[in-house]
């Protein structure tokens, strides 16, 4: 077994690389039925790219805000809330544009079934109350659930940091308690004007965000969040292997658990049950401890993936719009294998072009600031 990755100074290349990889997989998974869907992470374990994205979002928040919070809490809270406000604005804009795309498909291409699947019918039946729901984030289109969750968790980050500043174990204890109580008692935020609750329960998903936040705080302090242990590594690898065996062999039935607590043995994504939580944590532990992953992430040949991770918000927003456009087209027309692959490549190329342009502008601003 390889030695654990040694900590190094400077920005950890793994965060950008694996965030970029998660965004690629989210994009592919959000175009259901395409030829590449079978090779994404959801086919090899209990968790998928969404858990990875939220975990790394917590890490990023810990790295970005923990030191600022320790020095100047008011400034840190203001920065966090400004960022949350930006996420909210992006969510509203992408939702409006997605509705326009879906409406065009519904009215001109006959994509009625898609409208029903992605929760767009209420825009037709009750447009004004649905608009209020969008503003309050209580109405979410299918495949547009992650940004509202992320925004809410980011807005709550000052509270998380306040607990972590006292003791990170305290934060994790509170977070685990909220996760357990919410999952056991089906506590969730309501939808409006439609029935039901949020697809990704924020009371459940805050746990994985807080774990990432603690890891980011530790990294910022130059500490190790969870140290290397041969026994823990063996357990993590064994669990990942077990999960792959179960998923690849389809040796499970999501409806066969009867009265067993879904939080502990189920696979329902919305409540982040224990099997999914353990899987993403095991995967994160293996990646963080084996040195070859740092080497891969830092490879210049894979900069294209890291660039997507550096501009994650813009990439996710554009990717979401491309995804919903492809869903409309795939609903209306039959895609050949060649067209299927070509459209996915084109969608990824659009996201890369956006990321490249923004990164170039960011570097230019930094260089200009140095010259002043």
Q: Is the peptide bond before 55 cis (omega within 30 degrees of 0)?
A: no
Name the band, by pLDDT with cuts 50, 70 and 90, for residue 9: very low
β-bridge partners, 4: 290
pLDDT digits (tens, 9 = 90+) for 156-213: 999 999 999 999 999 999 999 999 999 999 999 999 999 999 999 999 999 999 999 9
Give this prediction's pTM. Answer: 0.94
190 and 197 in contact (C-beta within 8 Å)?
yes
- How many angstroms separate the CA atoms of 24 and 30, rounded? 10
49-71 vs 157-166: helix axis angle to the nearest 10? 60
**The pair of three-digit structure tokens given for residue 143, joined into one six-digit string:** 């495949």
User: Mind listing the pLDDT tens digit for each residue in 87-140?
Assistant: 999 999 999 999 999 999 999 999 999 999 999 999 999 999 999 999 999 999
The more confident residue out of 313 and 251 is 313
How far is the C-alpha of 57 from the C-alpha of 187, rounded, in Å?
23
266 pLDDT tier (thresholds 50, 70, 90): confident
pLDDT at 8: 47
DSSP character for 301? G
pLDDT in tens, 286-322: 999 999 999 999 999 999 999 999 999 999 999 999 9
Give the pLDDT confidence score for residue 370 in this predicted structure: 72
Q: Which of 163, 134, 169 is nearest to 148 (CA)?
A: 134
- The string of pLDDT tens digits covering residues 13-71 is 999 999 999 999 999 999 999 999 999 999 999 999 999 999 999 999 999 999 999 99
| Positive/negative CA dihedral, 283, 286, 292, 298 | positive
Q: Which residues pair with 197 in a beta bridge?
A: 190
Residue 54 near residue 206, CB atoms below 8 Å: no
Return the DSSP state at 191.
P
Cβ pair 307, 352 in contact under 8 A: yes
Look at residue 322 and give its three-state secondary structure. Answer: helix
Averaged pLDDT, 364-372: 75
Least confident of 243-257, 258-272, 311-325: 243-257
Burial class (CB in 10 A: 0-12, 13-18, 19+), 196: exposed
First to last CA, the chain: 50
Does residue 357 register a pLDDT over 80?
yes
What mean pLDDT do residues 212-241 have?
A: 96
Q: Rounded to an integer, what distance in angstroms lies between the CA atom of residue 58 and that of residue 313?
A: 14
CB 44 within 8 A of CB 50: no
Q: Are 56 and 22 in contact (CB under 8 A)?
A: yes
Phi and psi at residue 290, to the nearest 5°: -100, 125
User: Would you say residue 255 has pLDDT above 60?
Assistant: no
**What are the DSSP calls for 123-166, one per residue?**
HHH-HHHHHHHHHTT-S--TT--HHHHHHHHHHTHHHHHHHHHH
């Amino acid at each position: 077994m390889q030695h654990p990755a040694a900590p190094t100074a400077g920005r950890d290349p793994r965060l950008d690389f694996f965030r970029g990889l998660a965004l690629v997989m989210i994009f592919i998974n959000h175009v259901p039925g395409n030829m590449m869907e079978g090779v994404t992470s959801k086919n090899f374990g209990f968790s998928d790219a969404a858990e990875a994205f939220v975990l790394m979002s917590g890490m990023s928040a810990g790295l970005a805000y923990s030191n600022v919070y320790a020095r100047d809490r008011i400034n840190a809270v203001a920065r966090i809330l400004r960022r949350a406000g930006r996420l909210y604005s992006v969510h509203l804009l992408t939702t409006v544009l997605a509705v326009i795309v879906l409406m065009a498909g519904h009215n001109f291409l006959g994509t009625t079934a898609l409208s029903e699947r992605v929760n767009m019918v209420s825009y037709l039946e009750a447009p004004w109350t649905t608009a209020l729901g969008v503003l309050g984030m209580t109405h979410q289109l299918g495949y547009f659930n992650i940004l509202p969750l992320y925004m809410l968790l980011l807005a709550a980050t000052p509270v998380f940091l306040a607990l972590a500043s006292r003791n990170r174990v305290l934060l994790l204890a509170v977070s685990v308690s909220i996760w357990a109580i919410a999952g056991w008692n089906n506590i969730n935020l309501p939808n409006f004007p439609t029935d039901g609750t949020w697809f990704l329960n924020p009371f459940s998903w805050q746990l994985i965000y807080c774990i990432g936040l603690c890891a980011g705080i530790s990294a910022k302090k130059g500490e190790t969040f969870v140290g290397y242990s041969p026994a823990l590594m063996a357990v993590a690898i064994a669990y990942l292997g077990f999960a792959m065996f179960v998923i690849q062999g389809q040796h499970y039935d999501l409806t066969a658990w009867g009265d067993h607590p879904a939080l502990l043995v189920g696979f329902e994504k919305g409540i982040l049950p224990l099997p999914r939580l353990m899987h993403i944590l095991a995967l994160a532990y293996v990646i963080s401890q084996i040195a070859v992953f740092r080497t891969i992430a830092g490879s210049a040949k894979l900069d294209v993936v890291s660039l997507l991770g550096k501009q994650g918000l813009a990439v996710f927003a554009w990717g979401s719009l491309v995804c919903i456009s492809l869903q409309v087209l795939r609903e209306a027309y039959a895609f050949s294998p060649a067209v299927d692959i070509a459209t996915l490549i084109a969608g990824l190329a659009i996201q890369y072009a956006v990321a490249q342009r923004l990164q170039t502008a960011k570097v230019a601003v930094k260089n200009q600031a140095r010259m002043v």
